[in-house]
């Protein structure tokens, strides 16, 4: 459903809600406010991407992938601001299946633009994990420091610390093998 149709439906719902309150139907008016808010949310956030995120949080990768693949042409169905998030979700799904293949999606997400700092940090942290898997220590360190800078609310602080610890263990293993 295009955003124009959603905006028209949501606007009509606002008028209907105001009418319910005008006639004193407070119970129905409150219910209509909740439905109207839900309709306006789908104007700015694609419901398929919201469901994909929900299933990713529940670790149901198959369902998440199914919902994300239901977006046939993301350039037409999503607003330009959502294109980066679409690729980030693709990267998160792919990272469960083939972590090294997810790199292209995270890079594309960063190039298209992610508007929230914690999402930028998550993409860079994921890229650091790919760099570590490729044994690119410098690249991983650079991406980890960028992820730490982007993570202003410290949402990924634990994961960043764990990744640094893994890098330290990687150094010890290389030292052991080089002797």
Same domain? 71 vs 91: yes
Same domain? 30 vs 55: no
Provide the residue range defining the domain that includes 83.
Answer: 46-178
Same domain? 75 vs 139: yes
Is the pLDDT confidence value at 172 over 80?
no
* CA atoms of 142 and 150, how far apart (whole Å): 12
What per-residue confidence (pLDDT) applies to 165?
87
Same domain? 51 vs 99: yes
* CA atoms of 36 and 15, how far apart (whole Å): 10
pLDDT mean across residues, the chain? 89
- 108 vs 76, which has greater pLDDT? 108
- Tens-digit pLDDT profile for residues 54-90: 999 999 999 999 999 999 988 888 888 889 999 999 9
Tell me the angle at which helices 117-133 and 103-112 cross, rounded to the nearest 10 degrees: 150
What per-residue confidence (pLDDT) applies to 121?
93
101 contact partners, CB below 8 Å, separation of at least 6: 94
Same domain? 128 vs 143: yes
Same domain? 23 vs 92: no
CA dihedral angle for residue 119, residue 154, residue 58, residue 70, rounded to 10 degrees = -10
Confidence band, pLDDT 50/70/90 cuts, at residue 120 = very high
- Tens-digit pLDDT profile for residues 4-56: 888 899 999 999 999 999 999 999 999 999 999 988 888 888 889 999 999 99
- Tens-digit pLDDT profile for residues 136-164: 889 999 999 999 999 898 888 899 889 88
Triad 126, 150, 79: Cα angle to 5° = 75
* Mean of pLDDT values over 87-111: 93
Q: Which helix (H) or strand (E) holds 96?
A: helix 83-97
What per-residue confidence (pLDDT) applies to 99?
86
- Of 29, 44, 59, the position where a domain reaches its end is 44
Number of independent structural domains in the chain:
2
Confidence band, pLDDT 50/70/90 cuts, at residue 1 = low
Same domain? 21 vs 50: no
What per-residue confidence (pLDDT) applies to 146?
93
pTM listed for this prediction: 0.78
The CATH number given to whatever domain includes residue 81 is: 1.25.40.10
Same domain? 13 vs 73: no
Same domain? 55 vs 34: no
Same domain? 107 vs 140: yes
Give the side-chain half-sphere CA count within 13 A for 37: 6
Is the pLDDT confidence value at 167 over 70?
yes
What per-residue confidence (pLDDT) applies to 174?
61
104 in Cβ contact with 83 (< 8 Å): no
CA dihedral angle for residue 9, residue 15, residue 17, residue 21, rounded to 10 degrees = -170
């Amino acid at each position: 459903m295009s955003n124009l149709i959603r905006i028209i439906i949501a606007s009509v719902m606002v008028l209907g809600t105001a009418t319910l309150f005008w006639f004193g139907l407070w119970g129905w008016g409150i219910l209509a406010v909740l439905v109207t808010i839900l309709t306006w949310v789908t104007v700015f956030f694609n419901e398929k991407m919201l469901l994909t995120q929900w299933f990713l949080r529940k670790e149901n990768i198959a369902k998440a992938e199914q919902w994300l693949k239901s977006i046939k042409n993301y350039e037409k169905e999503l607003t330009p601001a959502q294109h980066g998030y679409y690729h980030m979700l693709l990267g998160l799904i792919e990272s469960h299946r083939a972590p090294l293949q997810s790199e292209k999606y995270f890079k594309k997400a960063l190039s298209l633009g992610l508007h929230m700092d914690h999402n930028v940090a998550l993409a860079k942290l994921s890229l650091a994990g790919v760099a570590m898997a490729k044994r690119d220590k410098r690249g991983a360190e650079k991406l980890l420091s960028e992820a730490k800078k982007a993570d202003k609310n410290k949402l990924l602080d634990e994961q960043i610390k764990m990744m640094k610890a893994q890098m330290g263990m990687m150094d010890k293993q290389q030292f052991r093998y080089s002797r």
